């Protein structure tokens, strides 16, 4: 399958630069897979579109303030984006700056209120300056870095929440790039399908007997990168750690057996749930070619608890075994996220939906409008 099939032209003015207030005021396009019908709603209408007995599964990962600034010992400015913590002191990071070779030492900038003095960060006494050493070149702008001490307690004062590169307007409230249910810190980007929920809407859904539960998948920036190879099958999918607890797995299976629908909030929840279903079916090892390796698996599977680094790559041709309904945003061209949505609804239907969204001036990407695929 050619990657060009997932390309489209988007007028720049449709890229949402700021979130709407309240969160549930965004628009919601409903795409019916069975009939091909497309209708237009507000996100708050989700209360009428979901049914008693459905179970809503969201990703409770929280974005860490992972954008850092510093200077090399030689004086050059450095910008870093922490992507993945490997152990107490080692991180994989994206770096910006000149001649950032292994062995280079970078001292991190202190908050302005400290006036460059050693003091208290994050409620702890900082006895020495924070610095890191570039340990390994991982290719392109990626580096393995080693901090001289645990950096996590100081990130709230030291770091900045990293907004996607297509957002050029600063955010007055950093919490608007977090879901209201975010809890487990670890993501470099928000699970944006969940940004539309308000506490009021979640409470109203609970009163309607729509269950709500969580998985955790920490999102790296590879999630949003366009696929650069010509053929989809040649793409190397990003790896992200997915967690689904035994209690949540049990509640999902009970809801499904009682006739409820499994509604995944975002592509990260979809990948976690489908990974859990494939593990339930007995598939071990790499999941990248899951649909091809196991074409005879039952179309419906229960889910099992998982905590693993998933490489499940979902694109058209994949058979969904857990998720019945997907809530998602409008995605970047040529991205694995758009491929996943096209696998769930069909490429032709998603193409038509995106054409209509552009004509109707929907807002796109992280702070944009949402799509419910039923």
Q: Where in the chain is the domain with CATH 2.40.10.240?
A: 67-158
Beta-strand (E) ranges in the chain? 27-31, 38-42, 55-59, 61-63, 67-72, 77-85, 90-96, 105-108, 120-121, 124-125, 131-139, 142-147, 184-187, 211-217, 240-244, 262-265, 306-310, 325-329, 370-373
For the chain, percent of residues with pLDDT exceeding 70? 91
32 CB neighbour count, 10 Å cutoff: 14
For residue 354, the model assigns a pLDDT of: 98
**What integer pLDDT is reported at residue 165 of this predicted model?**
85
Q: For residue 370, what pLDDT band results from cuts at 50, 70 and 90?
A: very high
Q: Across the strands, what pairs with 100?
A: none
Indicate the CATH number of 3-63+174-373 among 3.50.50.60, 3.40.1780.10, 3.10.20.30, 3.40.50.300: 3.40.1780.10
Q: How confident is the model at residue 57 (pLDDT cuts 50, 70, 90)?
A: very high
For residue 109, the model assigns a pLDDT of: 84
What gap in Å lies between CA 123 and CA 133, rounded to an integer?
Answer: 25
What does pTM read for this prediction? 0.90
Q: For the segment 141-189, what is each residue's pLDDT rounded down to a tens digit?
A: 899 999 999 999 989 888 888 888 899 998 889 999 999 999 999 998 9
> Quick one: average pLDDT of 81-104?
93
Residue 140: band (very low, low, confident or very high) from pLDDT cuts 50, 70, 90: confident
Average pLDDT, the chain: 90
- Say if residue 357's pLDDT is above 80: yes
Choose among 153, 338, 372: nearest CA to 263: 372
pLDDT of residue 359 exceeding 80: yes
Check whether 291 has a pLDDT greater than 70. no
Choose among 303, 181, 300, 182: nearest CA to 247. Answer: 303
Percentages (nearest 5) of helix, strand, coil residues in the chain = 30, 30, 45
pLDDT tens, position by position, 215-245: 999 998 766 667 889 999 998 887 888 999 9
Q: What kind of architecture, by CATH, is found in domain 67-158?
A: Beta Barrel (2.40)
- Of 15-24, 30-39, 157-166, 183-192, least confident by mean pLDDT is 157-166
Percentage of the chain lying above the pLDDT 90 cut: 75
pLDDT tens-digit series, residues 100-110: 999 999 999 87
What confidence category does residue 116 fall into, taking pLDDT thresholds of 50, 70 and 90? very low
Q: Return all residues near 344 (Cβ < 8 A) that are at least 6 apart.
A: 33, 270, 314, 320, 323, 326, 373
Query: Within the chain, which residue ranges are assigned CATH 3.40.1780.10?
Result: 3-63+174-373
């Amino acid at each position: 399958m050619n990657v060009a099939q997932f390309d489209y032209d988007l007028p720049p003015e449709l890229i949402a630069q700021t979130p709407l207030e309240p969160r549930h005021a965004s628009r919601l396009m409903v795409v019916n897979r069975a009939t091909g019908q497309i209708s237009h709603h507000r996100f708050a209408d989700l209360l009428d579109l979901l049914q008693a007995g459905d179970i809503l599964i969201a990703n409770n990962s929280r974005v860490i303030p992972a954008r850092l600034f510093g200077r090399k010992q030689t004086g050059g400015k450095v910008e870093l984006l922490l992507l993945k913590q490997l152990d107490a002191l080692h991180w994989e990071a994206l770096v910006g700056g000149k001649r950032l070779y292994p062995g280079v030492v970078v001292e991190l900038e202190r908050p302005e209120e400290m006036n460059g003095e050693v003091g208290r960060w994050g409620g702890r006494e900082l006895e020495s300056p924070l610095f890191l050493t570039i340990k390994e070149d991982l290719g392109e702008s990626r580096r393995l870095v080693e901090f001289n001490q645990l950096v996590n307690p100081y990130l709230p004062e030291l770091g900045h929440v990293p907004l996607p590169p297509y957002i050029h307007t600063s955010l007055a409230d950093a919490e608007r790039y977090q879901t209201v249910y975010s809890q487990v810190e670890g993501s470099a980007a928000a699970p944006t399908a969940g940004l539309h929920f308000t506490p009021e809407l979640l409470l109203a859904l609970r009163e309607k007997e729509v269950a709500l539960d969580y998985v955790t998948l920490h999102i790296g920036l590879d999630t949003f990168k366009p696929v650069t190879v010509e053929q989809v099958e040649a793409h190397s999918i990003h790896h992200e750690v997915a967690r689904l607890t035994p209690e949540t797995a049990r509640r999902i299976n009970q809801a499904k057996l009682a006739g409820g629908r499994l509604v995944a909030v975002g592509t990260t929840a979809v990948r976690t749930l489908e990974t859990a279903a494939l593990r339930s079916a007995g598939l071990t090892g790499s999941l990248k070619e899951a649909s091809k390796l196991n074409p005879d698996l039952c179309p419906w599977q229960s889910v099992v608890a998982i905590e693993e680094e998933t490489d499940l790559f979902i694109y058209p041709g994949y058979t969904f075994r857990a998720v019945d309904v997907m809530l998602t945003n409008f995605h970047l061209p040529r991205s694995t996220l758009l491929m996943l949505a096209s696998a769930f609804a069909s490429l032709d239907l998603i193409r038509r939906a995106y054409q209509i969204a552009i004509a109707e001036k929907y807002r796109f990407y992280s702070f944009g409008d949402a799509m419910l695929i039923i």
